[in-house]
Structure 1
Amino acid sequence: MKKSKAIVILIVILGALAGLAYYASIILSSTGIGEEMSIPLGLDLSGGVSITYQVVDDNPSAEDMSDTIYKLQKRVEGYSTEASVYQVGDDRITVEIPGVSDANAILEDLGNPGSLEFQLPDGTVYMTGDQVADAQAGTTTDSYGNKQYVVQLKLTDDGAKLFADATTDNVGNYLPIVYDGETISYPQVKEAITGGTAQISGMKTYEDAETLATQIRIGSLSLKLQELESSVVGAQLGSQAISSSLKAAAIGLVIVMIFMIVMYQIPGLAAAIALAIYTCLVIATLYLFEITLTLPGIAGIILSIGMAVDANVIIFARIREEIATGKTVNSSMKIGFKKAMSAILDGNITTIIAALVLIALGSGTVKGFAYTLMIGIVLSMFTALVVTRWILYSFYAIGIRDEKFYGRAKERRTLNFLGKRGVFFTVSLAMIAAGFIGMGVHAAKGSGALNYGLDFVGGTSTTADYGKDYTIEEIENTIVPVVADVIGDKDIMANKVEGTTQITVKTRTLTLDERDTLEQALVDQLGADESSITSQSISSTVSSEMRSDAIVAVIVSSICMLIYIWFRFKDIRFGASAIIALLHDVLVVLAVYSLLRISVGNTFIACMLTIIGYSVNDTIVIFDRIRENLGRTAVKQTPELLAEVANKSLTQTLSRSINTSLTTFIMVFMLFLLGVASIREFALPLMAGLLCGAYSSICIATELWYIMRLHLGKNRLIKK
């Protein structure tokens, strides 16, 4: 590369950074132009619309209520993946949608969920709305190339059979679709439809198709609902939550940049510039794709900043290794990027696979987390493999060529990790056993194996009029401490109804005596209007179906990762040991939750998913080096040779594992140090998970692979 070209590239990159930084600052701004460009915030940060529906049917069953809540959750995810739906009392359902303030517009769009029937020509009902899995508006072209507006239907297994029978017997007839007694569509059956999907055509505009699709989706609920009340609710946390998190991110980012420059010099400076560009791109992408940001989301972004360093660390370690063999800096950079490619791609692709599965099968927080994860992975790969590369080549071209600016890998004595595997396994089993023992002790005491929060078990909602328009900070500092003192529990969620002096406090499930005591305290200590106080039971916002979705999504993603690793490494034992190491990390973090009695809420799922993604990436890098070193051995592979290769690979990647874990830990630690109480509860187990993930990658996964290679599968080696 010519010096003039290098200068132009550096100017363009720095100019792009300046532009992106300005754009990001506008997005993050809370006033002026930034208010119009801000990222959508969740209920915990900015509030939103709360709509309560009354079930029309008398004495609805628990099964129908659960099914309706789950389907409503799926419906409102179109507004935000962070929307929540939960049961209030015996026959009411509340929907909370963040980032919006016009309740009437939401009601008009969402509609009043009612009964949906698919009828034969004589009016006989052959299928009901709960047998429709999904309905979406779309466009197609007919045989003449004209655009047509249609509604695509996806049916359940039972619905597919009923629909197949009805359409087979009624080819040429019209089969009405009736919503709340009114015929909303009168499609003609042109042929038997047996595949479980169908298409309704004939709409004049796309808006007509969207309206019909919405009516069909809402009509597929198990119960008929009518609006009881709606309101705009304030944030559950104050502006302090955002400002402290941004402050933590800024400080952590600066520390990580300084660390990279000190450790890697010129490559570290390139990484610091690329990391700044990465951070700005993440903020811009969140805004452009209108991804709702919650407190766990902020933590996830800050965590991704730390993880984005990983690809750079892998590349720089490779460059130093090549320089140590006597190659020139220019050749070392080219070879270093080439050799690092497989580890970076394999590690990130496995995580992308997991994210795609979570998007497809997950719901609520799981899906929101997966979108953020995908953004982080794609952008980190781009900045590491493209931006960092061009910056490094440009630095070299303008004259910074001395190898002292790039570093030289030091000769290290190969550490005998495998010789200590008995100790490692014992320590891990002891940590996991401590967690199970702790859960058993707490369960025996009646306090629950884990400290489940309101998101998981529901509780009691108490609303009162205080005659004063409290700010969020005043609620946190005045009302919440009184409630916590009365009920003896700090797991409290509070927000206000905008435009009124009413405040709702959600707590664990209270007994009648506890409700009376709390209501009296609100009157005596806080001046609440006694006649305005209402208390009612609420269900969890993380329903059993959502939990099942999360578990299924994790299992399926683990299987997909196992298959990918098997395919890439030509040995299923690599994949099996990686998955077992993941299970190890999950169990250890579960032990932390149990022993420290950290509240298990929405952030619990995000925490576990983050640890899984981080641990897989770390393990893959080590396995990639083992694969490479095994390929260099021409002699017959013996147990001694395998142990030597494994120990050598672990030693070679040790500095990378430590540096990546340290930079990521710094980001999360700053979050723990400066964040509000609720976010510290997320950061604490996450820090434990990061340490555990690094430990399992170094001390568990490779050792498991070695044991499996000796004793399991084809070409197993048994020492005589």
Structure 2
Amino acid sequence: MKRLKKGQGIAWLVAFVVILGLLGYYAFTVITGTIKENDDSLKLGLDLDGGVSITYEAVGDKPTDEQMADTILKLQQRIENDLGEESSTTEANVYRVGDDRITVEIPGVSDANALLEELGTPGTLYFIAQKDNDGNENYSYGENGYQLNYDIETLTENGSVICTGKEVTAAQGRAEQDKTTSATKYVVTLQFNDEGTKAFGDATTVAAVAGETIGIYYDGQFVSVPKVNEAITTGNCEISGMSSMEEAEKLASYIRIGGLDIELQELESQVVGAQLGADALRTSLIAAGIGLGLVMLFLIVMYLVPGFVSSLALALYTAMLIGILKAFDITLTLPGIAGMILSIGMAVDANVIVFARVREEIKNGRPVVSSIEAGFSKALSAILDGNITTLIAAAVLGILGSGSVKGFAITLALGVVLSMFTALVITRILINSFYALGVRDAKFYGKAKDPSKFDFVGKKAIFITISVAIIAAGFITMGAMKAKTGSGLNYSLEFLGGTSTTVDFNETYSLADLDAKVVPQIASTIGVSEGSIQTTTVDGSNQAIFKTRNLTLEERESLNEMFESQFQVKETSITQQTIGSTISGEMRSQSTIAVLVAVLCMLVYIWFRFKDIRFASSAIIALVHDVLVVLALYAFARISVGAAFIACMLTVIGYSVNDTIVVFDRIRENHKAIRTENAETLKSLCNESLAQTLSRSISTSITTAIMVLMLLILGVSSIREFALPLLAGVIAGTYSSIFIATQLWYILKLKFASKN
């Protein structure tokens, strides 16, 4: 960056103050609006704000477990694919209730009727021939559009129902160019299974000759009545004639939802409160505010003027992040908060990397102005590699993940982009502006101390042994608990399902009252932690819903007795149902695949950037180490494993890789200066690189840990259960970047030495 004159420095600082003031005021308005729940509020997920709960019941005979599971999966896909953008339903819950009911919980919505109209009634879709075998018209066109001339049962019996949505394997709206006119046309492409292919082929062969139509009937009405122009025998067909892409996508959506294995009817709908309790968001925001203040104070004490500058940049980053979340209506959930914590840590880290470099240049005798330029220049590769690696992971998780994984990825990606902008652009402008104003003495910027002479590599056996012992103890604990309880980890109802207890109290309790008065009594009665109980209220009633692990008959009776004796609730006002998991097996598989692909992509990128597979391998092994250490904590402390577990592990992965890459970047830089692959020389190289980056590693870890620690201290019980393993992940990530990753690279470097 060109050196600024005094007038330019003043102009930049005035512009920054104005921008920060405007964005800060807007962010403050959004935060206060979120706490007060007015129109200025952020869009919050079901766990933080509540939403609409719709319960459907299967029509007809009792469905099989396979039918219910398939229907739940298709409903999840329908909600995420078709309603996600409009209703923030990437965080929706879909789970089984009892034998024949399915509940859909969608955040950020307060109008159940509007949502029901948008979602539609999940039922069966039919493809109906225009005429029956006797030549009678099965449907006709009237004032209200196409109408059936017979009921569906009759049409099925006389063979006029060609097939149903169950035989459709894919439906997609598309825009194509007409080969004759070159105009854009909007179509829906369908693909049938083997059974549907044969039935549709036979029907269209007849219809094409007669010039007839085939009606597509769903939810009590015809959604399309296309004319058959030719026999379709391949199992792939195209419906044309739509006037817009929106119309094509809507028809495709109807066809997809019409492929449910069972027909559902709405049983009830209600507006429910937040799952994490009334104080969860407020205390989280307070904790974040205090944490940011402490982080800024730490930066100023540690880095003087650069620390003050980075605090200003961090304030702008925070205001921008809140503003974008509000402007683009991005849903904020507990996993999203995890993504924000990680991105704040990375924003601080980028500044710390630069300032550590500036101090090194000052120590080497360079003038302050050239030290600043050299610091930004030399820090660039580490910042870019760390952030790009995290962005790659976020992109993969956003594309392949679902639910909380996707919410985490969106927030993380946004935070990473903003952190790079504030660190590489804003911080640079500010520090050069202060220099232009006369803040030029080296004492205001600090001077790097002599690197530690600690033998990090020589004691690698001790460090690796400690890690192996912790991880092994975790697996042993899981094995012992599995033998004792049947489950190695303490899976929550989100993974295993559980019992939903609905209580109609004699008075209206707020969520805060329930958390303070009722939840502790439930926890004591059935022997669970308060944080493992999900509590929601039902608007317009005295009802509250408590979701816990599966309860035995004896526990249910004890719970009923507690409600009767402690809260004077009649037994007839208590209903209990067994509910399925909100995180289905398919969602777990999808999340696992997304994480594995993300890790693979990170490995390839690190390999490409560092031109050495040993760097990539060491980074990934260190990442696995951190995940297993946190997993061991879940096993030791029997922390509830639920949706927050996924967010925690994703945060650990992002933090671990970024931390390790900074150290590897210094090794790469120092390695260019030596020509030998001698073991002692490599050992000295590793020790020197670790010593040079040690203060940065510790500083970044402290600032990130401060944010998490505030959540741990000030958060409600459910937040604390999330914050504790997250704090452990930060500590593990720091430990592995200093004591594990580089040592692994050293071992691999000697074991698989380059031949050149």
TM-score class, shorter: over 0.9
Distance 1:161 1:613 in 2: 46
2:556 matched to which residue of 1? 515
Of 441, 445, 452, the residue aligned with 1:406 is 445
2:156 matched to which residue of 1? none
1:96 matched to which residue of 2? 105
Question: Which whole-Å deviations, capped at 9, do the CAs of 1:97-144 have from their partners, x for residues lacking one?
Answer: 111110000000001111234578886746734644464577979976
Per the TM alignment, residue 296 of structure 1 is displaced from its structure 2 partner at its CA by: 3.9
Q: What's the Cα RMSD here?
A: 2.9
1:708–1:171 CA distance, 2 compared to 1 (3 A): farther
SS of equivalent to 1:30: helix
2:641 matched to which residue of 1? 600
Q: Which 5+ residue runs of structure 1 have no aligned equivalent? A: none
Matched, 1:15 2:54: no
1:687 matched to which residue of 2? 727
Of 568, 574, 588, the residue aligned with 1:547 is 588
Distance 2:719 2:323 in 1: 23
Of 334, 342, 348, the residue aligned with 1:309 is 348
1:360 matched to which residue of 2? 399
Per the TM alignment, residue 146 of structure 1 is displaced from its structure 2 partner at its CA by: 5.9
Task: Determine if contact 1:74/1:363 at 8 Å carries over to the other structure.
Answer: no
Distance 1:282 1:53 in 2: 38
Per the TM alignment, residue 638 of structure 1 is displaced from its structure 2 partner at its CA by: 1.9
Matched, 1:667 2:707: yes
Output the TM-score relative to the length of structure 1: 0.93
1:413–1:460 CA distance, 2 compared to 1 (3 A): closer
* Letter matched to residue 609 of structure 1: L
Question: Which whole-Å deviations, capped at 9, do the CAs of 1:164-187 have from their partners, x for residues lacking one?
Answer: 989998999866544357542244
SS of equivalent to 1:450: coil
Tell me how many residue pairs correspond in the alignment. 714
1:70 matched to which residue of 2? 73
SS of equivalent to 2:109: coil
2:50 matched to which residue of 1? 47
Distance 2:161 2:514 in 1: 56
Distance 1:503 1:42 in 2: 19
Task: Determine if contact 2:167/2:193 at 8 Å carries over to the other structure.
Answer: no
Of 407, 419, 433, the residue aligned with 1:394 is 433
Distance 2:384 2:70 in 1: 40
**Matching of residues 252-651 of structure 1 within 5 Å:** 252-446=291-485, 448-490=487-529, 491-633=532-674, 635-651=675-691
* Letter matched to residue 613 of structure 2: I
1:669–1:630 CA distance, 2 compared to 1 (3 A): same
SS of equivalent to 2:121: coil
Task: Determine if contact 1:137/1:213 at 8 Å carries over to the other structure.
Answer: no
Q: Which 5+ residue runs of structure 2 have no aligned equivalent? A: 132-159
* Letter matched to residue 618 of structure 2: S
Distance 1:453 1:681 in 2: 12
Question: Which whole-Å deviations, capped at 9, do the CAs of 1:311-339 have from their partners, x for residues lacking one?
Answer: 00111111112222222222222221111
Matched, 1:701 2:738: no
Of 78, 93, 114, the residue aligned with 1:84 is 93
* Letter matched to residue 643 of structure 2: N
Per the TM alignment, residue 543 of structure 1 is displaced from its structure 2 partner at its CA by: 0.8
Matched, 1:4 2:28: no
Distance 2:581 2:692 in 1: 48
1:127–1:468 CA distance, 2 compared to 1 (3 A): closer
SS of equivalent to 1:35: coil
Question: Which whole-Å deviations, capped at 9, do the CAs of 1:335-373 have from their partners, x for residues lacking one?
Answer: 211111111111111111111111111111111111111
Task: Determine if contact 1:118/1:176 at 8 Å carries over to the other structure.
Answer: yes
Segment drifting more, 614-623 vs 493-502: 493-502
Question: Which whole-Å deviations, capped at 9, do the CAs of 1:388-438 have from their partners, x for residues lacking one?
Answer: 011111111121112221122222244321111110110011000110111
Segment drifting more, 576-585 vs 609-618: 576-585
Distance 1:181 1:232 in 2: 27
Distance 1:479 1:587 in 2: 36
SS of equivalent to 1:97: strand
Per the TM alignment, residue 54 of structure 1 is displaced from its structure 2 partner at its CA by: 0.8
Segment drifting more, 515-524 vs 334-343: 515-524
Per the TM alignment, residue 56 of structure 1 is displaced from its structure 2 partner at its CA by: 2.0
* Letter matched to residue 165 of structure 2: T
Of 125, 128, 139, the residue aligned with 2:165 is 128
Task: Determine if contact 2:35/2:282 at 8 Å carries over to the other structure.
Answer: no
Segment drifting more, 576-585 vs 187-196: 187-196
Segment drifting more, 120-129 vs 104-113: 120-129
* Letter matched to residue 412 of structure 2: L
* Letter matched to residue 337 of structure 1: F
SS of equivalent to 1:222: coil
Task: Determine if contact 2:202/2:233 at 8 Å carries over to the other structure.
Answer: no
Task: Determine if contact 2:163/2:200 at 8 Å carries over to the other structure.
Answer: no
1:117–1:5 CA distance, 2 compared to 1 (3 A): same
Distance 1:18 1:31 in 2: 20
Task: Determine if contact 1:42/1:99 at 8 Å carries over to the other structure.
Answer: yes
* Letter matched to residue 489 of structure 2: L
Which of the pair has more CA radius of gyration? 2
1:56 matched to which residue of 2? 59
Task: Determine if contact 2:563/2:569 at 8 Å carries over to the other structure.
Answer: yes
Segment drifting more, 517-526 vs 227-236: 517-526
SS of equivalent to 1:616: helix
SS of equivalent to 1:462: strand
Distance 1:236 1:335 in 2: 50
Task: Determine if contact 1:163/1:193 at 8 Å carries over to the other structure.
Answer: no
1:255–1:480 CA distance, 2 compared to 1 (3 A): same
* Letter matched to residue 113 of structure 2: N
Task: Determine if contact 1:249/1:671 at 8 Å carries over to the other structure.
Answer: yes
Task: Determine if contact 1:236/1:472 at 8 Å carries over to the other structure.
Answer: no
Distance 2:426 2:518 in 1: 50
Per the TM alignment, residue 639 of structure 1 is displaced from its structure 2 partner at its CA by: 2.0
SS of equivalent to 1:264: helix
Task: Determine if contact 1:117/1:129 at 8 Å carries over to the other structure.
Answer: no
Distance 1:246 1:682 in 2: 15
Per the TM alignment, residue 547 of structure 1 is displaced from its structure 2 partner at its CA by: 0.8
Distance 1:130 1:609 in 2: 37
Q: Percent identity?
A: 55
* Letter matched to residue 58 of structure 2: V
Output the TM-score relative to the length of structure 2: 0.88
Per the TM alignment, residue 289 of structure 1 is displaced from its structure 2 partner at its CA by: 2.1
Task: Determine if contact 1:126/1:166 at 8 Å carries over to the other structure.
Answer: no
1:196–1:602 CA distance, 2 compared to 1 (3 A): farther
Distance 2:657 2:233 in 1: 42
